[in-house]
Amino acid sequence: MSPEVAVSAEKASAAGPLLVVSAHAGDFVWRAAGAIALAASRGDRAKVVCLSYGERGESARAWREGKGLDEIKALRRAEAEAAAAELGADIDFLDAGDYPLPESPELVDRLVRVYRDFEPAVVLTHPPADPYNGDHPAAARMALQARVLAQAIGYDAPGEPLGAPPVFFFEPHQPEQCDFKPDVLLDITPVFDRKRKAMECLPAQRHMWDYYTDLARRRGVQLKRNAGPNLGLAHDTMAEAYVRLYPQTTDVLA
Amino acid sequence: MSPEVAVSAEKASAAGPLLVVSAHAGDFVWRAAGAIALAASRGDRAKVVCLSYGERGESARAWREGKGLDEIKALRRAEAEAAAAELGADIDFLDAGDYPLPESPELVDRLVRVYRDFEPAVVLTHPPADPYNGDHPAAARMALQARVLAQAIGYDAPGEPLGAPPVFFFEPHQPEQCDFKPDVLLDITPVFDRKRKAMECLPAQRHMWDYYTDLARRRGVQLKRNAGPNLGLAHDTMAEAYVRLYPQTTDVLA
Amino acid sequence: MSPEVAVSAEKASAAGPLLVVSAHAGDFVWRAAGAIALAASRGDRAKVVCLSYGERGESARAWREGKGLDEIKALRRAEAEAAAAELGADIDFLDAGDYPLPESPELVDRLVRVYRDFEPAVVLTHPPADPYNGDHPAAARMALQARVLAQAIGYDAPGEPLGAPPVFFFEPHQPEQCDFKPDVLLDITPVFDRKRKAMECLPAQRHMWDYYTDLARRRGVQLKRNAGPNLGLAHDTMAEAYVRLYPQTTDVLA
Amino acid sequence: MSPEVAVSAEKASAAGPLLVVSAHAGDFVWRAAGAIALAASRGDRAKVVCLSYGERGESARAWREGKGLDEIKALRRAEAEAAAAELGADIDFLDAGDYPLPESPELVDRLVRVYRDFEPAVVLTHPPADPYNGDHPAAARMALQARVLAQAIGYDAPGEPLGAPPVFFFEPHQPEQCDFKPDVLLDITPVFDRKRKAMECLPAQRHMWDYYTDLARRRGVQLKRNAGPNLGLAHDTMAEAYVRLYPQTTDVLA
Amino acid sequence: MSPEVAVSAEKASAAGPLLVVSAHAGDFVWRAAGAIALAASRGDRAKVVCLSYGERGESARAWREGKGLDEIKALRRAEAEAAAAELGADIDFLDAGDYPLPESPELVDRLVRVYRDFEPAVVLTHPPADPYNGDHPAAARMALQARVLAQAIGYDAPGEPLGAPPVFFFEPHQPEQCDFKPDVLLDITPVFDRKRKAMECLPAQRHMWDYYTDLARRRGVQLKRNAGPNLGLAHDTMAEAYVRLYPQTTDVLA
Amino acid sequence: MSPEVAVSAEKASAAGPLLVVSAHAGDFVWRAAGAIALAASRGDRAKVVCLSYGERGESARAWREGKGLDEIKALRRAEAEAAAAELGADIDFLDAGDYPLPESPELVDRLVRVYRDFEPAVVLTHPPADPYNGDHPAAARMALQARVLAQAIGYDAPGEPLGAPPVFFFEPHQPEQCDFKPDVLLDITPVFDRKRKAMECLPAQRHMWDYYTDLARRRGVQLKRNAGPNLGLAHDTMAEAYVRLYPQTTDVLA
């Protein structure tokens, strides 16, 4: 192999910054906290961008308790900040509103600027179909459009044109109904404790703690099944599932 | 991460033996020579199993020249042996006949024994659909069935139960018509010369040399497009395309 | 079974109000009149919401006769009202325009208010793909988005948060081209006469009367084929075909 | 509606015998025990047909303990009989062998005779795709072929031609990888205790008890999400997921 | 364009012999009679190969009347011969048995010989999926396999290697359930009378006459819808629907 | 056949004007130049509508050279005009902007007027999915919506209602990733020289000349494979691949 490819495509992109684009303030915790904590534990920068706080659609308990809109936003923000801190990630809030999350050129442009500024090597977002929640696909469409625009030298925003960071969709609440067929199972065993603590930063959704702990165990069983019995995997392997948007580029089949 | 998973699932499986199950004597050359040469160049063992010589269905020129069946088989065998040697792989011929390649429990059992004996860490074979050639899906079905049988401790064959080696489908001649949507692009630039030489071991199919050289260049352009512009990839990146059957298991998203 | 589930999920939801969201004034007649008449005959409330009159795209004869836009709208409205009355349903017209039916947050909000007010137990609308008519998918997208928004306690509209009424897509004009694979065949034999009379309320589309009568007979033959020969079904079973968006919830497999 | 259809198609077929065709002795327990126990609790007959004991492919622990083939078969048989008894079902063993389960006209013919004799109103079997286990799709193919053959008056077997009982595929171990998208969620809350006891009849697979208990809870959460909040469902709803092969026939949309 | 391609690919292949491979004696009548009659009316040779008589699975009335197996076969044969004669086609019967139609290398070999002898320019057969009738996909698999084998010079059968005749799947009884999405609508208006007469050669299936007449009218309406209003098509256009297996080759987009 | 259908549907539509709707100034050259040149060489009118110049997203070299926006637009316009002239087509530029190409009712209305004025018999545009470039699907959505609107007599624009011209999607840069499965292979051998010359009118994208020449050769090999060996096709057949949106209407299967 000539010197210029001595660093493989895979390793180079593995070592870089991780960007997570999330429709609501809590989504990144249930679905991608393991990947975020792994990146941080490797020393990679990680950033979460929440397009909204999930103030209308994901805060039922607060509404039932009679809280007001601004109060709810502040509450969700504080929870998400605590969870991000637990995982070792920065977090930004674009406060674009939810239910519905409005798609607009302006919001896409804000995301382009995030890409140009943060220069992610890996991008995580929602999968493009979710018949239970229109905000999730809306966030995905904007995250994907902004990524392509940020690649164009002619797009008028500060910074250098973006490379082609791979995109992974994280797992929706009802995967089969969202046509989510995992093609990556990520071993999050060493950081699962941090994922659990991040989940516990969201006390209003306590019923989700166990649901997503069970899911991590279930995906862990599947990881072991797909990895084979001989790899020295921990008994209680915990995992997250992802779907790639683009083909993997690599110099080794494994 | 606890010590027992210090060696990641991905790296461990990347370092092991590569098994290629091919319907006819030439298939592995056009479609997987790069992956084979890469494995050999890393020091991994590589083995090709040809279920038939392709004597009836892939030897039109020899038939037109009036050669007999045994002569054609010998010819195809010699060519395939030369190509495998060029790539650094062992090669076995099961001589099960082609056009049609008959599916049978006995042939599957022979493959189980290959798996148990060779203990592959990675398996390559044909994709499961090909409306132009029924032998290719037949080979794939047997390769996949044998892999599952070899995993069962209760299956009566020598050796230890197989792990769960990942399976990659290599590219068919008309990919879209075979519903082949690449999800791995493998950089074969450093070994492309060997692939070309292996192809040239098959003189009766000279028109394929350029067809598959062009294809490697085309897949290389796509690899660069998907890997981003900043990775120091060679100008003339050459690639092979693959489809995974099972989800990737890994401890890093990249 | 504990008392609180003594009434099965299926029966409870079967007994409630039926909402039909239709892009144009005539759509509900050809495609869902049987379901509407069945609901009314059971004593359930039924309501049709027409997003437009179909004044531009579905009124070719009136345009050829030289009628004006307002005249055509009034005509279509009168026809649809007559058809709804025949079926025993209420009907509302949102007069949002057609060809194209414009998608807007305001129109979605009007639908949210319909959901909150009517509290449907079952929702019918167009399937999400139709390469022959963009208004149909637009209507479906808005009907589905509004249903999700109406479920959120934080959405600012009068009334209680909506439950999760099942959604059924009714049959488009060219089902295969719209990827419409029926998964429910509804026996409308006892109310087919009313469907026919409702169709006859639309004299400008007389050629459709027989087309949709033939279709009902065809779907009826299929219903009998799928139900088995021993169920005492009428010789001339008439049926409508539907596709579910969400999984059926039930306490009996049948 | 004429008197002969006063009893709806749905209710009539709901009230009849349930047949489960299972590749190995344990499959019906993990995947369909709830449906079986519900049928028995309604007073419907239920029968399980195990094509093999799963002696080679699903009995790893027994092999590791050094047991012999006949001993393992007897063990699996006893366990499955105990589980079926717990659920209130009859059970037959065709002992056709596993890993691989051989497909043959003779085995299909035996299944035809089961259909003609038992006259099921509902059929459960494996889904048609499973890249982890070839016996499951083989069992499904034979179960489906036999069902069609049993419908033909000209097929030479005792009994009357079969009607058209609906077919439901039960959930495989890794649903997404088997393209299993649930379209029925069955509430098994009132019989879950029996399912748990039936699972506990299989002590060699103790790790599955919790895996399938977690799965039932997970499917229960989804059932509640799809059924809406207002149905008086138990807090700890437990469910099983199914996929229909044929369209549902009904006289009410719900 | 050089002289040798002065006759376009499309016209050349349109002018050649038509081969229809049918599982049972009646299939070609309901589903492909229009295409056959069109070919004959153009002066092209047309041949139907019936793999079985449909004696067990498609002769319910004869069995109920107490007829014997040989009698039923003779009856079906006579009917099919009459229908083929009406359409202007030759017909062969391979009498391989039905319900199930057994797949075997010998039967495939007989089909290879038909291909080599008849040298079809166009092939029609069943689509590859039909959950209601396993014989149809079995016939399709053998027809397709034989076509590929007949192309190989090394296949041991008389005659020259076959070209690459396009394959069209004709319409199954329940198209959506067979994933049949028409991509060709064939105008059979000028020969519909002959199709009707051919159908009337099958008196035991009288209920099918109107079903398939209605279908032809329905497909005719769709043909007009897809062809546009300006083509001078007859008011009562009748059509058959087909699906291509391979891409169309042409020198004009239309 | 009655006189009014003596001219077949296929031939009639083949003989008419060709409209190409392209997102950026260069797209029509790489992907559809062969079809355009064939139409012109038959004497049919051909028109290209470029929705934008591709000034931001497809002009990287010009931006790197420091050119300004207006300069780049002028450059792209001149290149595209030269290429269109080479092919014998008219070309219009709607200058709607790119990266992103904004979707709007106004832009759709402009396209409706093009359809009404030009009265195309065949329409070419981008396929509806492209994860690498959002402008391509946006262009396709508008081209398709405008085509349907132009068919409605009630749509307020000059001219007669449009017929139903068939739509063909041309090949995207990475076909498999765009779910592009060719169903038409168009022989462009006699006009390939003109396509090459048209490509050479775009000097900034010199690396594409060979990429698309290789692709034409590759599609040509596939055309020969699908057309069969006996058709007298030129040795170096060159082809373009297309996907139909609507079913083909014809009076001959070929």
Measured in angstroms, the CA of F166 and the nearest CA of chain E are apart by 7
Q: Is the pLDDT of residue A12 over 80?
A: no
Asked whether this complex has an ipTM greater than 0.90, the answer is yes
Are C98 and C64 spatial neighbours (Cβ–Cβ below 8 Å)?
no
- Sheet strands (E) in chain B: 18-22, 46-50, 90-93, 122-125, 167-170, 184-187, 239-244, 248-250
In this predicted structure, the answer to whether residue D231 has a pLDDT above a threshold of 60 is no
The whole-angstrom separation of Cα F84 and Cα F32 is 11
Predicted confidence at residue C41, as pLDDT, reads 95
Q: C111-115 — which CB contacts under 8 Å span 24+ positions?
A: C111/C21, C111/C49, C111/C142, C111/C143, C111/C146, C112/C146, C112/C149, C112/C150, C112/C155, C112/C157, C113/C157, C113/C158, C113/C159, C114/C19, C114/C47, C114/C49, C114/C146, C115/C19, C115/C146, C115/C147, C115/C150, C115/C162
Mean pLDDT value across residues D29-50 = 97
CATH number at residue B56: 3.40.50.10320
Neighbours of chain D (3+ CB pairs under 8 A): A, B, C, E
pLDDT of residue F136: 98
Per CB-CB distance under 8 Å, the chain A contacts of C149 are 57, 99-100, 134
Q: Quick one: pLDDT band at residue B205, thresholds 50, 70, 90?
A: confident
- Tell me what pLDDT residue B207 has: 86
Please tell me which of the candidates B1, B122, B247 has its beta carbon nearest to residue A254.
B122
Which residue, C117, C150, C124, is CA-closest to C23?
Answer: C124
How far from the centroid of its chain's Cα atoms is residue C58's Cα?
A: 17
The tally of domains found in chain A comes to 1
Q: What angle do CA E180, E185, E189 make, to 5 degrees?
A: 130
Q: C50 lies in a domain?
A: yes
Rounded Cα distance between F102 and A149, Å, is 13
Rounded distance, CA F246 to CA B4, Å? Answer: 57
Please state the three-class secondary structure of A60-123 as a single string. HHHHHCCCCHHHHHHHHHHHHHHHHHHHCCEEEECCCCCCCCCCCHHHHHHHHHHHHHHCCCEE
Q: Report if residue F254 sits inside a domain.
A: no
Nearest CA distance, B252 vs chain A (angstrom): 7
Mean pLDDT within E219-223: 96
User: What residues 68-87 of chain D have any CB closer than 8 A to a CB of chain B?
Assistant: 69, 72
Cα distances from E164 to residues D53, D72, D210, E111, F229, in angstroms, run 47, 53, 55, 15, 7
Write down the pLDDT at residue A204: 86
Torsion of CA A91, A95, A98, A100, to 10 degrees: -120
The pLDDT score that the predictor gives to residue A244 is: 98
Structural domain includes residue F24: yes
* CB < 8 Å from C in window 85-124 of A: 99-100, 102
Q: How confident is the model at residue C55 (pLDDT cuts 50, 70, 90)?
A: very high
Of chain D, the percentage scoring pLDDT greater than 70 comes to 92
- Under the banding of pLDDT at 50, 70 and 90, the label for residue A14 is low
Domain that holds residue E153: 5-244
B38–A contact, CB cutoff 8 A: yes
Could you tell me which of A252, E102, F134, C42 has the C-alpha nearest to residue D103? E102
- Confidence grade of residue A53 (pLDDT, cut at 50, 70, 90): very high
- Residue at token pair 């103030």: A55
Q: CA A242, CA C104: separation in Å to the nearest integer?
A: 33
Q: Does B1 touch chain A (CB under 8 A)?
A: yes
Structure token pair of residue F187: 């022989």
Residue B232's pLDDT is 63
What's the pLDDT score for residue F205?
87
Say if E238 falls within a structural domain. Answer: yes
Residue D74 domain flag: yes
The mean pLDDT of A52-62, rounded to a whole number, is 95
Q: Do F56 and A155 touch (CB under 8 A)?
A: yes
Instruction: Kindly list the residues from chain D whose CB atom is less than 8 angstroms away from the CB atom of residue A177.
Output: 181-182
Question: Does residue D231 belong to any structural domain of this protein?
Answer: yes
CB contact under 8 A, D154 and E100: no
Residue E157 lies in a domain: yes
User: F105: which chain C residues are within 8 Å (Cβ-Cβ)?
Assistant: 100, 102
pLDDT computed for residue E5 by the predictor: 32
Within 10 angstroms of residue E118's Cβ, the number of other Cβ atoms is: 21
Q: Is chain F in touch with chain D: ≥3 Cβ pairs within 8 A? A: no
pLDDT for C199 beyond 80: yes
Mean pLDDT, chain D, whole residue set = 92
Per-residue pLDDT tens digits for F55-89: 999 999 999 999 999 999 999 999 999 999 999 99
User: pTM value?
Assistant: 0.94
Domain contains B250: no
Chains touching A by CB (3 or more pairs below 8 Å) = B, C, D, F
Lowest mean pLDDT among C11-25, D61-75, D193-207, E67-81: C11-25
Instruction: Identify the band that residue B161 occupies on the pLDDT scale cut at 50, 70 and 90.
Output: very high
How far, rounded to the nearest angstrom, does the alpha carbon of residue D225 sit from its chain's CA centroid?
25
Is there a contact between A214 and D211 if contact means CB atoms under 8 Å apart?
Answer: no
3-state secondary structure of D69: helix
Distances (CA, A) of E198 to E23, E27, E80, E189, E205: 18, 12, 9, 15, 12
Is the model's pLDDT at C53 over the cut of 80?
yes
Average pLDDT along chain F, 254 residues, taken 10 residues at a time = 35 72 97 98 97 95 95 97 98 98 98 98 97 98 98 96 96 97 97 98 91 96 84 81 97 93
Q: Decide the pairing of beta strands A167-170 and A239-244.
A: antiparallel
Question: Which pLDDT value is given to residue E235?
Answer: 74
Q: Per-residue confidence at E231, pLDDT binned at 50, 70, 90?
A: low
Read off the amino acid at residue E132: Y
Assign B233 a pLDDT band (cuts: 50, 70, 90): confident
CA distance F254 to E168: 9
- Cα A20 to Cα A30: distance, rounded to the nearest angstrom: 13
Tokens standing for residue C76: 């279509």
CB C157: neighbour CB atoms within 10 A? Answer: 17
Can you say whether residue E146 is alpha, beta or left, with left for phi > 0 and alpha for psi between -120 and 50 degrees? alpha
Chain B contact for A186, CB < 8 A? yes
Query: Does F225 sit within 8 Å of B211, measured CB to CB?
Result: no
A141, pLDDT greater than 80: yes
DSSP string, E191-214: GHHHHHHHHTT-GGGHHHHHHHHH
